[in-house]
C-alpha cells in the first residue's frame, strides 16, 4: 500500500537542514518565533561582551561568557535544525515533482486541424488529443474516449487507472502518461495553476499557515516569555539591593532556561511534520488547519458511489430460472458479454473466472455484436449458427422472448423481485425463445470498508452514507458497508444540510467525495477529502486530496490529526515541567553565596554556582535535538477517551519533564564542575 511509512530522513535532507540552520539565523526569519528570537538577542548580547570585554568590564569572566555564547548559539541552531529537518522531506518531494513537470508538447485541436504546441502555451478551455505513450500536458477533463493512465508520478502507484468521458472518473492530471488508447481532453487550468504546481507549493511548505491551535500556543509561549523577561529584568535591582552582583550573561542564562525554549524551538517542526506525515500516506493537505481539525472529527459523511462502492454495477451472482442449470445460465451470460466492453459486461466474465465456470470464446467468433440501446434495453450477439443471445432488462427480454413464441419461466418474476428487494439490478439472459436465468448486478462495496468503519466507530466517529439510491438499495449497501446511518435519495443540498446540522450541534464534520455534486458539501465540511480520481470541482472544493482515492484512508488522517495535537500538547507539558528543575538548579546557585539559607534549595547539590548555570544551560540546549525525533515522528496514538489520554500524557511527559532535568543537569554538572 502506498500509504506505508516512507523513510523520514536521508543524508541529503540532514545536510540541507544543517545549512538552513545557519540561514534561518536571519533576524527577519527568527522574529516569526518570538521565544527563539529572544534567545538569539541574548546570544548576540553575550557575543558583544566576548568581543569587547574591556567595554563591558568582563575581563575576568571571558571564558565563562564565551561558553555561554556557544551554548546559546547551539540552542538557536538546534531549534532551526528541527524546523529545517521537518521542511526537508517536503522540499525533497517537491524536487521529485518538479522532475515530472517537464515541458511537454501537446496536440492542440485548432478547428478541424491538430497543431503541436508547447504545453506552456495551453490555456483553460483548450482541447488536446493525447494518445498512447504521450504525457498529458495539463490538468483537464476527458470529454471523449477511454484510456489507461499511469499516475505514478503523482500517487507513487504503479498500477494504471482507467479514465473515461463523463461520470466521476474523467479528471486527468498534467504530468501523467497515457499507457493505452486515445483520449480528448479539455484543459481546466492555466500555467502555474495546475495540480502539480499546487502540490509543489504545498509540500515545500511555501504556503503553510499557522493553525488556530498553533497560534494560540504561540501566544501562550510569547506571554510566558514576556513574564519571565520582566521577572529577570526586575531581578537585577532586587539582587543588587541584597548585595548580590548578577552579571548580564548569568541573567540571560536564567532567562533562556526559564522561558519555554524546548517547545518554542520545536513548535514549527511539529506542525510541518504533521502535514508531512499526511503526505507520506499520499494525502495532500491544503493547510495545517485541515490536518489539525481532522484530529477532532466527530462525524464522517461519505458519498456512496465511487467512495464506499466502486460506482459501477458489477455481476455478483448467476441465478438460473425454470429448468435451466447454473452452468447453462452462466455460459450464455458469458457468451452475451464476450464483446460487451461496458463495466457490467466485463464483470460477468470476471465472475465466471472467480466461480471457475467455463465458456467457449470461439462460440462467439464471427458473431455480430448487438449494442445496448435505450429503446431495446438489451444487448447481445447473433451467432453464426443462427441463434440469437440477448441480455438486458427483465421486462424487455420477456417481451423479446414472447415475440419469438417462447414461454416465460414461472419463477422469473419472484427471483427478479428478490434481487430488486436486495437493492440489486436483475438482468435476464435468453437464447432465442428461452430465458435461461438472471444476472444479479449490484454496486459492490470496496474490500475492507466494514472493518475500517468499525475502527472509526472505536475512535468515536459516527459515519453517515449519502446516496441518490432508493431507500431499499441504500439500506442494503449501508448494511454491507457497516456505516452507522445513511441518507437515501440525497441531493447535493441534502449533504450540506446534514453537515450543517451536525456542525450546529458543535461537532466537527469530515466529508469524502469525488463527484462535482459533492463539491458544495466538501467546501462546507471542516475537513473535506476529495478522491484524486474525482472531478476537478471536487478537488478544488476540498482541503485535502487523497492521491490513492481510498476513502477509508480517513482513519490514517484522523489518527495523524490526533497525533499532531497530542505531540504538541505532550512536548508543551514536558517543556514547562522542565522549568521546575531548572529553577532549582539556577536560583540557588545565583544567591547561595550571598544568602547561605538558599543552600536549602540546592537539592541537587551542584558543584558551584557557575557549573550549575552552565549545566542547566547545556541541558536546555541538548534537550532540543534529543526531542527532534519525537517531534518528527509524533507521539504514538492509541484510541482512548480524552480523560485517559490527558492522564497518560501528564504522567509520562509531565512527570518525565520534571525528573529528566534533575538527572540530566546533575550528570552534566559532574563533568562541568571538573572543568571549571
Nearest to 189 by CA among 117, 232, 152, 139: 139
**392, exposed or middle or buried, with CB in 10 Å at 0-12, 13-18, 19+?**
buried
518 among annotated binding-site residues:
yes
Of 276, 303, 526, 548, the catalytic one is 303
* Annotated binding-site residue? 669: no
379 is in an annotated binding site: yes
Distance between CA atoms of residues 294 and 275, nearest Å: 12
CA distance 139 to 127: 11
Q: Residue 434 — left, alpha, or beta (φ > 0 → left; ψ -120 to 50 → alpha)?
A: beta
377 annotated to a ligand binding site: yes
96 is an annotated ligand-binding site residue: no
The three cell numbers locating residue 336: 452475451
Q: Choose among 163, 264, 159, 251: nearest CA to 214.
A: 264
Chain centroid to CA 406:
58
On the CB side of 518, how many CA atoms lie within 13 Å of its CA? 31
Task: Judge whether 303 counts as a catalytic residue.
Answer: yes
- Whether 336 has a binding-site annotation, put simply, is no
β-strand pairing of 283-285 with 544-546: antiparallel
198 assigned ligand-binding residue:
no
Assigned C-alpha cell, 204: 515545500
Check the annotation: does 443 bind a ligand.
Answer: no
Residue 544 annotated as binding site: no
Q: Are strands 378-382 and 388-393 parallel, antiparallel or unpaired?
A: antiparallel
> Which DSSP helix (H) or strand (E) runs through 583?
helix 554-591
Q: Is 485 annotated as a binding residue?
A: no
Cell (9 digits) for 416: 427478479
| Region for residue 541 given its phi and psi (left: phi exceeds 0; alpha: psi -120 to 50; beta: otherwise) | alpha
Say whether 378 counts as a known binding-site residue.
yes
Q: How many CA atoms lie within 13 A of 179 on its CB side?
A: 12
Taking the CA atoms of 301, 169, 351 and 348 in sequence, report the sign of the dihedral they define. positive
Q: Which long-range contacts (CB under 8 A, 24 or more apart) does 409-418 make?
A: 409/321, 409/322, 409/323, 409/324, 409/435, 410/322, 411/321, 411/322, 412/321, 412/322, 412/438, 415/319, 415/321
Cα 255 to chain centroid, rounded: 39
The CA radius of gyration of the chain, in Å to the nearest whole number, is 34
Q: Which residues are annotated as a binding site?
A: 340, 344, 372-379, 391, 514, 518
Residues forming the active site: 303
Q: Which residues are annotated as a binding site for ATP?
A: 340, 344, 372-379, 391
Q: Which residues are annotated as a binding site for Mg(2+)?
A: 514, 518
Amino acid at each position: 500500500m502506498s500509504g506505508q511509512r516512507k523513510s523520514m530522513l536521508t543524508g541529503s535532507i540532514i545536510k540541507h537542514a544543517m545549512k538552513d540552520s545557519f540561514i534561518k539565523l536571519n533576524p527577519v526569519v527568527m522574529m516569526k518565533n518570538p521565544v527563539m528570537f529572544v534567545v538569539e538577542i541574548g546570544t548576540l548580547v553575550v557575543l558583544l561582551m566576548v568581543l569587547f570585554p574591556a567595554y563591558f568590564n568582563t575581563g575576568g569572566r571571558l571564558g565563562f561568557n564565551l561558553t555561554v555564547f556557544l551554548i546559546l548559539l547551539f540552542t538557536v541552531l538546534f531549534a532551526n535544525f528541527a524546523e529545517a529537518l521537518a521542511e526537508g522531506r517536503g522540499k525533497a518531494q517537491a524536487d521529485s515533482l518538479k522532475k515530472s513537470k517537464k515541458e511537454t508538447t501537446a496536440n492542440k485541436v485548432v478547428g478541424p486541424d491538430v497543431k503541436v504546441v508547447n504545453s506552456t502555451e495551453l490555456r483553460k478551455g483548450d482541447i488536446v488529443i493525447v494518445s498512447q505513450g504521450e504525457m498529458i500536458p495539463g490538468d483537464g477533463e476527458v470529454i471523449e474516449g477511454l484510456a489507461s493512465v499511469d499516475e505514478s508520478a503523482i500517487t507513487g502507484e504503479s498500477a494504471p487507472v482507467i479514465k473515461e468521458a463523463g461520470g466521476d472518473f474523467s479528471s486527468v492530471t498534467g504530468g501523467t502518461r497515457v499507457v493505452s488508447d486515445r483520449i480528448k481532453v479539455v484543459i481546466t487550468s492555466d500555467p502555474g495553476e495546475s495540480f502539480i504546481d499546487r502540490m509543489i507549493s504545498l509540500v515545500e511548505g511555501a504556503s503553510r499557515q499557522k493553525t488556530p491551535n498553533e497560534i494560540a500556543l504561540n501566544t501562550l509561549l510569547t506571554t510566558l516569555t514576556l513574564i519571565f523577561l520582566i521577572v529577570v529584568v526586575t531581578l537585577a535591582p532586587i539582587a543588587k539591593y541584597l548585595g548580590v552582583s548578577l552579571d548580564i550573561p548569568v541573567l540571560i542564562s536564567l532567562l533562556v532556561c526559564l522561558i519555554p525554549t524546548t517547545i518554542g524551538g520545536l513548535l514549527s517542526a511539529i506542525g510541518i511534520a504533521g502535514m508531512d506525515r499526511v503526505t507520506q500516506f499520499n494525502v495532500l493537505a491544503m493547510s495545517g488547519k485541515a490536518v489539525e481539525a481532522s484530529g477532532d472529527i466527530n462525524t464522517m459523511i461519505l458519498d456512496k458511489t465511487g467512495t464506499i462502492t466502486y460506482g459501477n454495477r458489477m455481476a455478483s451472482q448467476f441465478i438460473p430460472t425454470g429448468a435451466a442449470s447454473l452452468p447453462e445460465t452462466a455460459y450464455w451470460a458469458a457468451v452475451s458479454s464476450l464483446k460487451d466492453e461496458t463495466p457490467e459486461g466485463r464483470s460477468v466474465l470476471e465472475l465466471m473466472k472467480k466461480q471457475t465456470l467455463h465458456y467457449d470464446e470461439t462460440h462467439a467468433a464471427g458473431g455480430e455484436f448487438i449494442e445496448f440501446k435505450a429503446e431495446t434495453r438489451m444487448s447481445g450477439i447473433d451467432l453464426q449458427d443462427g441463434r440469437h443471445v440477448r441480455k438486458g432488462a427483465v421486462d424487455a427480454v420477456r417481451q423479446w422472448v414472447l415475440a419469438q413464441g417462447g414461454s416465460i419461466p414461472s419463477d422469473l418474476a419472484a427471483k427478479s423481485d428478490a434481487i430488486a428487494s436486495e437493492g440489486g439490478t436483475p438482468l435476464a439472459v435468453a437464447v432465442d425463445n428461452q430465458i435461461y436465468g438472471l444476472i444479479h448486478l449490484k454496486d459492490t462495496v470496496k474490500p475492507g470498508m466494514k472493518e475500517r468503519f468499525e475502527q472509526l466507530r472505536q475512535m468515536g466517529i459516527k459515519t453517515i452514507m449519502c446516496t441518490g439510491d432508493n431507500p431499499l438499495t441504500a439500506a442494503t449497501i449501508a448494511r454491507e458497508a457497516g456505516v452507522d446511518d445513511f441518507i437515501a435519495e440525497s441531493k447535493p443540498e441534502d449533504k450540506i444540510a446534514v453537515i450543517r446540522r451536525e456542525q450546529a450541534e458543535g461537532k466537527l464534520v469530515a466529508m469524502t467525495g469525488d463527484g462535482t455534486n459533492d463539491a458544495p458539501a466538501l467546501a462546507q465540511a471542516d475537513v473535506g477529502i476529495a478522491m484524486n480520481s474525482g472531478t476537478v470541482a471536487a478537488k478544488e472544493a476540498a482541503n485535502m486530496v487523497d492521491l490513492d482515492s481510498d476513502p477509508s484512508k480517513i482513519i490514517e488522517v484522523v489518527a495523524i490529526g490526533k497525533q499532531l495535537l497530542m505531540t504538541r500538547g505532550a512536548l508543551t507539558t514536558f517543556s514547562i515541567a522542565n522549568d521546575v528543575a531548572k529553577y532549582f538548579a539556577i536560583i540557588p546557585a545565583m544567591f547561595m553565596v550571598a544568602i547561605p539559607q538558599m543552600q536549602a534549595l540546592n537539592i541537587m547539590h551542584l558543584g558551584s554556582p557557575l557549573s550549575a548555570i552552565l549545566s542547566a544551560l547545556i541541558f536546555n540546549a541538548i534537550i532540543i535535538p534529543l526531542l527532534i525525533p519525537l517531534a518528527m515522528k509524533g507521539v504514538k496514538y492509541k484510541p482512548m477517551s480524552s480523560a485517559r489520554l490527558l492522564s497518560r500524557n501528564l504522567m509520562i511527559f509531565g512527570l518525565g519533564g520534571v525528573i529528566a532535568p534533575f538527572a540530566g543537569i546533575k550528570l552534566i554538572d559532574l563533568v562541568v564542575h571538573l572543568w571549571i
